[in-house]
Homo-oligomer: A and B are copies of this chain.
Amino acid sequence: MLVGSVPVGGAAPIAVQSMTTTDTRDVEATLAQIGRLADAGCEIVRVAIPRAEVLESFRAICAGSPLPVVADVHFDHRLAIEAARRGAAKLRINPGNIGSLDRFDAALEAAGEAGIPVRIGVNAGSLAPEVQDRDWDLAEKLVASAVAFCEHAESRGFTDIVVSAKASSVRATVDAYRRLSGLVPYALHLGVTEAGTLLGGAVKSSVGMGILLDQGIGDTLRVSLTADPVEEIGVAWSILAALDLRRHGPELVSCPTCGRCEVDLIPIAEEVSRRLAGVRTPIKVAVMGCIVNGPGESRDADIGVAAGRGVGLIFAKGEVVRKVPEGEIVDALFEEIARLEAAL
């Protein structure tokens, strides 16, 4: 399927998504945030449609966005219908909170007319009414809800579907997607809801999505963090890179430092990490604080430093190219990175 121009599902690369946190009425701020998300590597962006008064802004956002825009609708199917008419590249609906199956049908019909897919987005917080009070575990309820809604859409002739079944419990989320992947033929949108703050949420998302992606489950993902959404993109790409599925920009390996380290490595590694955000070439950079693993990892990287007492040995493509004082390590690394990029 296509979300705007982005293929999702089948053999397509796993697409990275986020969601704006700006007020949807504020077109300028929302487009600015979408621009920052796109720069960070976001490929599909979702925007909330909480009320009818945001619909005209939504039209302008769709028109101005460099990324396909998904309309996120809850409770009121008319908002979904109107968003489909204003340029949404996909609708995200949770049929469990849209009021009735008739209203879900009306939204599907609008999507069909606009030629756009629909994400059936089931959440632990809003399951299908008929499964809500069953004596099942949460994963079973999520799966049963998702399958029932997919079957309903199919019965209406609508099959341009992406499915999600998220919970804030990683275990329930993983179990639900594992079962879903065997039950529905549709692309799966991965996520752990309400994962938490930046670091804790990154861990929960990485554990959950890592397990699923490692088993070949998942076609697009969104990392949910209570943080600047640009952080969500960084975490999403780090998950994909960790599994060698996709890579966006450089990789940094850096050692944890220990009683063996004779330079102040943490600020060096953090500064390298920050400056690498501006590098798009998919190189591997190693920042190592001692001679145990330092030379090995540095040689294995495209550019690396193995630091010793107050100095750094700079490696490029496996060879020592310079020895610099501690204070010049970061600049020297980026000079070598620039040289490498220029030679590509």
A203 interface neighbour in B23, B238, B288, B295, Cβ under 8 Å: B238
- From 41 to 87 in chain A, residues with beta carbon under 8 angstroms from any chain B beta carbon are 46-50, 54, 72, 74-75
Question: Is the pair B72, A258 in contact by a Cβ cutoff of 8 Å?
Answer: yes
The answer, yes or no, to whether A287 is at the interface (CB within 8 Å) is yes
Give the chain B neighbours of A234 by CB distance below 8 A.
Answer: 199-200
Known: A206-B203, A206-B207, A273-B197. A256 touches B244 (CB 8 A): no
Bound form: Cα–Cα A198–B252 in Å: 12
Bound form: Cα–Cα A224–B288 in Å: 13
Question: Is the pair A239, B207 in contact by a Cβ cutoff of 8 Å?
Answer: yes
Question: Is the pair B258, A48 in contact by a Cβ cutoff of 8 Å?
Answer: yes
The residue on B at minimum CB distance from A21 is B257
Give the chain B neighbours of A226 by CB distance below 8 A.
Answer: 254-257, 265-266, 269-270, 287
Known: A72-B258, A125-B292. A242 touches B197 (CB 8 A): no
The answer, yes or no, to whether A179 is at the interface (CB within 8 Å) is no
Question: Is the pair A252, B196 in contact by a Cβ cutoff of 8 Å?
Answer: yes
The residue on B at minimum CB distance from A126 is B296
Question: Is the pair B242, A170 in contact by a Cβ cutoff of 8 Å?
Answer: yes
The answer, yes or no, to whether A235 is at the interface (CB within 8 Å) is yes
Question: Is the pair A22, B259 in contact by a Cβ cutoff of 8 Å?
Answer: yes
Give the chain B neighbours of A202 by CB distance below 8 A.
Answer: 199, 202-203, 206
The answer, yes or no, to whether A5 is at the interface (CB within 8 Å) is no
Which of A200, A261, A270 is the most central at the interface, judged by chain B CB atoms within 10 Å of its CB?
A: A200
The answer, yes or no, to whether A211 is at the interface (CB within 8 Å) is yes
The answer, yes or no, to whether A243 is at the interface (CB within 8 Å) is yes
Give the chain B neighbours of A201 by CB distance below 8 A.
Answer: 254, 256
Known: A207-B242, A211-B214. A21 touches B259 (CB 8 A): yes
Q: Report the count of interface residues on A (CB-CB < 8 A).
A: 84
The answer, yes or no, to whether A193 is at the interface (CB within 8 Å) is yes
Give the chain B neighbours of A50 by CB distance below 8 A.
Answer: 259-260
The residue on B at minimum CB distance from A244 is B171
A196 interface neighbour in B196, B208, B253, Cβ under 8 Å: B253
Binary B-proximity of A222-244 (CB < 8 A = 1, otherwise 0): 00111111011011001100111
The answer, yes or no, to whether A204 is at the interface (CB within 8 Å) is yes
The answer, yes or no, to whether A210 is at the interface (CB within 8 Å) is yes
The answer, yes or no, to whether A20 is at the interface (CB within 8 Å) is yes
The answer, yes or no, to whether A123 is at the interface (CB within 8 Å) is yes
The answer, yes or no, to whether A164 is at the interface (CB within 8 Å) is no
The answer, yes or no, to whether A30 is at the interface (CB within 8 Å) is yes
Which of A46, A54, A125 is the most central at the interface, judged by chain B CB atoms within 10 Å of its CB?
A: A125
Question: Is the pair A293, B193 in contact by a Cβ cutoff of 8 Å?
Answer: yes
In the complex, 8 of the A-B residue pairs with CB atoms within 8 angstroms, ordered by the A residue number, are A21-B256, A48-B258, A125-B295, A197-B270, A202-B206, A203-B206, A204-B238, A206-B207
> Could you list which residues of chain A lie within 8 angstroms of chain B, going by C-beta atoms?
19-24, 30, 46-50, 54, 72, 74-75, 97, 123-126, 168-171, 174, 193-204, 206-211, 214, 224-229, 231-232, 234-235, 238-239, 242-244, 252-261, 265-266, 269-270, 273, 286-288, 292-293, 295-297, 300
